[in-house]
Amino acid sequence: MLFTAQVKVMPLKDLLDPQGKAVLGGLQLLGFNQVHDVRIGKFIELHIEANNKEAAFQLASEAAKKFLANQVMEVFEVNIF
C-alpha cells in the first residue's frame, strides 16, 4: 500500500531562527505589525510503499532521524495518511 508521510521539521524553540527573523522584518516593512514572531521550518511529503501504517511511520521516522532533520538544531514530527 502507498502511504503519504508528512514530516514537519522545525528549528528548536531555544535556538535563534535567522530566516524567521528576516521574514518577520519583511512582514513589518509591509505593515503587518500584528505579527510578533516568525519561525520557519521544512515540510516534507514522502510517498512510501509499506505493508501497513505502522511500518510507514517507522520508515519515515528513521529517514527523518538519519537524513531529513538535524536533531542538534531541529525537532521533527511525523504524520501518516
Is residue 41 within the footprint of a second copy (CB under 8 A)?
yes
Is residue 53 within the footprint of a second copy (CB under 8 A)?
no
Is residue 12 within the footprint of a second copy (CB under 8 A)?
no
Query: Which C-beta is closer to a second copy: that of 31 or that of 72?
Result: 31
CA distances from 63 to 58, 60, 79 (A): 9, 5, 13
Q: Which of 18, 25, 32, 71 binds a second copy (CB under 8 A)?
A: 32
* Cβ neighbours, 10 Å, residue 39: 15
* Distance between CA atoms of residues 55 and 1, nearest Å: 11
Q: Which of 15, 22, 35, 73 binds a second copy (CB under 8 A)?
A: 35
Is residue 42 within the footprint of a second copy (CB under 8 A)?
yes
* Distance between CA atoms of residues 20 and 71, nearest Å: 19
Q: How is residue 1 written as a grid cell?
A: 500500500
Query: Which C-beta is closer to a second copy: that of 41 or that of 72?
Result: 41
